[in-house]
Chains A and B, each alone.
Chain A
Amino acid sequence: MPSAVDINWYIALSGILFVIGALGVLLRRNAIILFMSIELMLNSANLLFVAFARHLGELEGQVLVFFVITVAAAEVAVGLALIVAIFRSKKSINIDEINLLKG
């Protein structure tokens, strides 16, 4: 076991979290949980950014994370508003019931 974790560990963690998030998106039908999973995926990406910022000794990685968080916040706000709106009309947040796009 090495004396200190290096970037590879973070990559591994980030990858695992990302995959879990993706699985959440793919498997859950609850729209809210789906959104949470997306947040998780974004979070895993953020982690990697910060890790690389540290690894490369750059500040830009952190700046980017800042922006990602902003976008995520905006996205969650709009997404949740959507869910509320859909819930009002369909009385459900099961995304399998929201299939107006069905061909």
Chain B
Amino acid sequence: MNTFSLAPLILYLPLAGLLFNGLIGRGIVDRNRPKGERLVGWLATLMTFSAFIVSVTLFISLATNGFEAWFVPIMNWITIPAANFTVNWTLQVDTLSVTMMLVVTGVGSLIHVYAIGYMHGDPDFSRFFTYFNLFIFFMLILISGSSYLMMFVGWEGVGLCSYLLISFWWDRLDKNGIPANANAGRKAMVMNRIGDFGVLLAMFLLFWTFGTLDYKPVFDGAVELYKSGQVVQFGGVGVPIATVLSAVTVLFLLGVAGKSAQIPLYTWLPDAMAGPTPVSALIHAATMVTAGVYLLVRSNVLYEIVRDSGALLFGLISTPDLVAWVGALTAFFAGLIAFSQNDIKKVLAYSTVSQLGFMVAAAGMGAYVAAMFHLITHAFFKALLFLGSGSVIHGMEHGHHEIAHGHDGHGEDDGFDPQDMRYMGGLRHKMPTTYVVYMIGALALAGIFPLAGFWSKDEILLHGQTHALLLFLILALAALGTAFYVGRQLIMTFFGTPRHAAAEHAHESPPLMTRPLVVLAILTILGGLLNVPYLTAAQAERHEMHPQGFWLLLEQWEEHSIPAIELSEEGVVHLPHTPVVFSPVVAGLSMLLALSGLALAYLVYKGRPKTYSEPDRLARTPIWWWSILPLNTLYMKYFVPWFNRFAAWLAFKLDGEFWHDFVHDRVIRDLFVNFADFSSNVLDAQGVDGIVNGAGSVTRRLAGVLRLTQTGYARTYALAVFLGAVGLLVYFLFMAN
């Protein structure tokens, strides 16, 4: 007995929700605001939650059916018989996709509930939930698709939802009159598209190598080709499989950099905070941004083949290593940037970039399960943090609202921003529930034992330590940085004294918002249990023979999607790598780093800043300056204006003035006209417009000559007819033969 045939429901349910809300949701909400909101919001939530239930049944079915992947076909998609190209809408239910499904629908449901409270009163309430369901729909396509192409549908689809939700309040202008939200959405989409460019090219390569885009045949084919040492005929040239896969994997990395906000494409994610906070939590922390990690984990076979073959990219570095380095550097630099942020959500955004860096680094090191583990725990605690920050912002806004009404004349604009941590302070008394759960999330992010973040980060560090020392050091430093900015944020937000009237009047958020926070907090506390490592090598050895044991639950679970593959006769590449044995040294170090980061933050920011206008304590230190990584500036200040100018130049100068006016009008047309002048003597040059017009005026002028013949006199025409008749007669009589 299994429930795999129910799998398509995970798509249909959100689809039904989005159709309902999209078609009639607006009318319902407009007719009866509170009731309508409840109906629309809870319906969307129910659909997501039902998808979660279905995911649970799938989980159970998998667990009771030998963990083997099931394929659930829905319908045919693209078939081009002559090109041997077939892609179907087929769902792949395996341990990896079910894990992702559970995270997406589970965390998603909680965020839906939260959003009902958060979006209360928004004029576009139903539109918001339509997008939310649309997002869930696409995200589930992404993770459950059985082929790269189907994954790509979800991949682009979630990008679209991200675009729509970031620019959700597209009518708002920022202080400078710039439509910042809409711009941020656009930026996200374009950056993602740059990544998609890579994924597309990778898919083309895969198709021409393996003749299919389905995961299973691609992976099987890759292993087989690699083992047989056959070359791939590509464009008439024989290419070793490892080279092809090198290209594929590095192109995937580009996609990952776009979607999971890695260097050099991460700059869209901080801007994406312009969207409503539940969006940041759902899309830009818990689910969508982890799609890149999912892609890496899903393509593990390809990466492992490249690693095993030792093929280097441009003779420099193998792609898995490149992935690891990109991840580690992103983790480090994004953490550094978080130091200098004052916006509570921007700190979390850079923190997300940094944590994604950890995951990507883990995947690059071959620690796919560790990456998944961190993905899950990160989904818990980062969603918690984002929602908590939303709660804080909500409270601050209410406080501001209150003072604006309570004290007449106090409404002078002091540049107040409900998201700016400098205006906060001392909120732990005003918002106790939020404070507690936020604290849990923050400590988990910092990596404090025994919260979920500790276990997952520790596992990544553990792998790093066995992989490469420099990588390990960078990741360790990133962990230190994480703890530091977390500490800074906690101090600035919850401790000290309120620095603004709004913070003094802040209120706890409604239960609809805090309850999901509590659930997430519980998950954050317990999440580490998912993959508690073996304490000793002896345990590891013992439990390897009893894989159903409690230890490394996730590892055992994912093993079925990330299997050991036999790449060559010499040996079997084990994926996941040899079982992780808990290392007290690494764990201790990790803990030490976290604590010292927090302590440093305490030292630096204790009681600071005193007023909201006081400059940051680090503002004069080199750290601060380093932390402003110039990549975003490079894009937005240099590349984008340059591109705009270039486009304008191309359109108006090159296409307009040069191509249209100069080449066509000046050169070709004038030459033509002069020639025509010369030949007909009746021409004068005036009016300049294109060779076509040149031809037109030539025709016109020629017609001017010819029209002399068009006298309108019937006799003239008759003469012409006569002339022609005589001419023909003469021709046929004397010349035709």
Contacts and interface: CB of A to CB of B under 8 A. Distances in A.
Judge: A and B partners, yes or no: yes
Interface of A: 22, 25-29, 34, 95-96, 98-103
B713 A96 contact: yes
A100 B711 CA distance: 9
Contact of A102 (B706, B710, B722): B710
B429 to A, nearest CB: 95
A26 B718 CA distance: 6
B703 interface: yes
Contacts of A98: 712, 714
B546 interface: no
B707 interface: yes
B723 to A, nearest CB: 10
Interface in B293-310: none
B138 to A, nearest CB: 65
B621 to A, nearest CB: 86
A96 B715 contact: yes
Contacts of B667: none
Contacts of B722: 22, 25-26
Given A103-B703, A103-B707, A95 B713 contact: yes
Contacts of A34: 714-715
Contact of A29 (B707, B712, B715): B715
Contacts of A99: 711-713
Contacts, number: 35
A103 B710 contact: yes
Nearest to B715: A26
Nearest to A101: B712
Contact of A26 (B709, B711, B719): B719
Interface in B684-719: 703, 706-707, 709-715, 718-719
A70 B195 CA distance: 83
Contacts of A101: 710, 712
A100 to B, nearest CB: 6
B712 A100 contact: yes
A38 to B, nearest CB: 10
A25 B714 CA distance: 9
Contacts of B713: 95-96, 99
Contacts of A27: 715
26 contacts: A22-B722, A25-B715, A25-B722, A26-B715, A26-B719, A26-B722, A27-B715, A29-B715, A34-B714, A34-B715, A95-B714, A96-B713, A96-B715, A98-B714, A99-B713, A100-B712, A101-B710, A101-B712, A102-B710, A102-B711, A102-B712, A103-B703, A103-B707, A103-B709, A103-B710, A103-B712
A34 to B, nearest CB: 8
Nearest to B707: A103
Contacts of B710: 101-103
Given A99-B712, A99-B713, 13 more contacts: A22-B722, A25-B718, A25-B722, A26-B719, A28-B715, A29-B715, A34-B715, A98-B712, A100-B712, A102-B710, A103-B703, A103-B709, A103-B712
Nearest to B723: A26
A5 B90 CA distance: 99
A22 B722 CA distance: 8
B12 to A, nearest CB: 71
Give the 6 A-B residue pairs with the shortest CB-CB distance, closest first.
Answer: A99-B712, A102-B712, A103-B710, A103-B707, A101-B712, A95-B714
B289 to A, nearest CB: 72
A103 B700 CA distance: 12
Contacts of A26: 715, 718-719, 722
Nearest to A25: B718
Nearest to B725: A22
Contact of B715 (A95, A100, A102): A95
Contacts of B714: 34, 95, 98
